[in-house]
Amino acid sequence: MLEKREISAAEITASVFARISCVEDSIKSFVTLTRDQAVHMAENADARISSGSKEPLTGIPVAIKDNMCTEGILTTCSSKILKSFIPPYESTVTSKLLEQGYVLPGKTNLDEFAMGSSTENSGFFTTRNPWDTERIPGGSSGGSAAAVAADECIAALGSDTGGSIRQPAALCGVVGMKPTYGRVSRYGLVAFASSLDQIGPITKNVRDTAVLLNIIAGRDPLDSTSAPLNVPDFTAAVGREIKGMKIGIPKEYFIDGMDPEVESAVRTAIKQYEALGAIPVEISLPHSGYAVATYYVLATSEASSNLARYDGVKYGFRSEGKDLIDMYMQSRAQGFGAEVKRRIMLGTYTLSSGYYDAYYKKAQQVRTLIKGDFEQAFRTVDVILTPTTPTAAFKMGEKTADPLQMYLADIFTISVNLAGVPGISIPCGFTSGNLPIGLQLIGKHFDEETLVQAAYAYEQSTDWHKRRPSL
């Protein structure tokens, strides 16, 4: 419509803010709304379009998870320790969106420092699921997924350390992709676990995910872990035939305790792939049972190291103390929430003298075995299909008293981060209570094209992605 001049960027932005004013009080997706900047950005976008310059994202409102630095705009990580932090620089991904002429409606809520699976660990408030406001939207990118599902933006960016894009996308009935580790620059992403974190798109359909990935992917000299590889046109994979594609079904991912409605929806999706000409192949990922334990050793160890910088001295929240050490202790005790403290303590313990070999080193060795499982499987299949989550969205407060139960919510997504491979979650059904169910597709390293191809083929053969919550 923008290209045909049937609508202006200013009108799109006004419609998004009208929607936000209708539903935001009941969803609470945003930590910070940037209406004034958005209006200005939309005016600039319309000027660009009038001059004949139209990039794919020009004039499109894209929400940004509040752990990506935005110059001159609050970036809090939903933590009291950063509640007044305004970055002096722009993250690489948001710089790329600015070059496109996008519109920023606001920064979205998350579990504090991206540590959580429900957005209940936010230092400010819990975001609610648009399909049932008594339930969680998933996490840690819960604000981004809920904003997309509730039509409070056209698309959003999230970050994924152990499932934080795919899990909320599944629970909110939208599409979310974690690209291969190194595909997208992490410069300006506030670090949680540096060897696992990856930025990716959350959108209403697979084509939009491909469009957004085209823009944010690529080598960045400011991030030494970003891969020096050419970025293909991911939208070229949209609409490709999947006849003869081999889809691996890992036996370890259909487990006791999984919601029967989730399992039924995923098995129905496998039959749909067969109808489209794909070939299901049973495979084994034998070390999957160790993934959660491995992840919570490595992720907490890296978090302990990364979060040492929040000491009350250079930036962020600062408490008074009777001396320097007391000031450090008071600042961190008052600034961090319970889950962040728990993970810092776990990580500090696993890295401590006498325990390093037993925990951290052992976890790195098991991580290598998990990565090897995927490499072995991809010798015989093109993609791997699993549930995204073992259950649909649970009620707020249901698991907050039991961290282990909360950690198990990411049981199907964690291995993908440990192995560094890409994964995408797409809607594949609804429970009898009208809650979305997500299907996860996992690809080879730097083969997001095949994921887009397989995900789009399924999406277009069903209507799940067209359903919207009745807010």
Distance CA 429, CA 443 (A): 22
> Which residue is catalytic, options 8, 29, 65, 415?
65
- Dihedral in degrees, nearest 10, Cα atoms 40, 42, 48, 52: -160
Q: Which residues have CB under 8 Å from 21's CB, separation 6+?
A: none
> Which residue is catalytic, options 122, 164, 185, 304?
164
Could you identify the residue written with the tokens 């597709």?
A: 441
SS3 107: strand
Of the candidates 390, 443, 383, 449, the one whose C-alpha atom is nearest the C-alpha of residue 170 is 390
In contact, 461 and 455? CB cutoff 8 Å: no
Whether 140 sits among the annotated catalytic residues: the reply is: yes
Whether 461 sits among the annotated catalytic residues: the reply is: no
Distance CA 2, CA 139 (A): 33
Provide the H-helix boundaries in 307-361. Answer: 324-335, 338-350
Tokens coding 400: 């907050």
Full strand arrangement of the beta sheet holding 155-159: 30-33, 106-108, 62-65, 155-159, 199-203, 175-178, 423-430, 436-442, 383-387, 246-250, 279-283
Provide the H-helix boundaries in 338-465. Answer: 338-350, 362-377, 403-407, 414-419, 448-460
Other C-beta atoms within 10 Å of 19: how many?
17
Q: What is the DSSP letter of 214?
A: H
> Which residue is catalytic, options 8, 78, 91, 140?
140
Could you identify the residue written with the tokens 């998990």?
A: 370
Whether 288 sits among the annotated catalytic residues: the reply is: no
- Active-site positions read 65, 140, 164
